[in-house]
Amino acid sequence: MIPDLPANIDELKGFLARDEAEALYQYALESSARGPVLEIGSYCGKSTIYLGLACRQHNSTVFALDHHRGSEEHQQGEYFHDPELYDTGEGQVDTFKEFRRNIASAGLNDTVVPVVASSAAAARHWQTPLAMVFIDGGHSLEAALSDYRCWTAHLQRGGILAIHDLFEDAHEGGQAPFAIYRMAKASGLFADIGRVNTLGFLRRL
């Protein structure tokens, strides 16, 4: 049972299964006792709420990193495009308004710090050690590699690396997250500590 979980959590826009969300919460609860959590790819804040509720237990912080213009698959004409998140005035996807509304509704404005930027731009001068990094950003190989290379260096020893949307079979989903998951396991820097559905967890050695 997760304390203060919003009653409408399953109605929020997002792609996180309930078993994945609960595992994410448990690892964030463990990790946030030692430092802040970074989420890459917040979308409308569904996963951010689970992370935020865990971090609030230890008066910690979630840095929620997203440019809020949607990944490749969210653009017009693509499979996961949502017309409700498209700003016709700007001619772009804009998920930030929905994100802010959901975080405020969950009472997490003092726990979640939005970072509205590309992953590479945010990482350029980053100095804060992280207790957990959750990679759920763009699913192109270029985007996934950038997220992995930019942020794993900031993960504390003993910290958790979580990677979402792991599919061995290309017919089931994109292969970029699985590629960086294999890269992490082969690096000698991480121990594989298990998977829940399509969400993999590793611990920094």
**So which residues are the catalytic ones?**
139
Rg (Cα) of the chain, in Å, rounded? 16
CA–CA gap between residue 161 and residue 177 (Å, rounded): 12
Whose CA is closest to 39, among 115, 121, 133? 133
Which amino acid, 30?
E
Question: Which string of b and e fits 94-105 if b means at least 16 CB within 10 Å?
Answer: ebbebbbebbee
**197: which 2 tokens?**
């559905």
Cα 11–102–16 angle (5° rounding)? Answer: 50
Alpha-carbon dihedral 152, 55, 176, 197, rounded to 10 degrees? 130
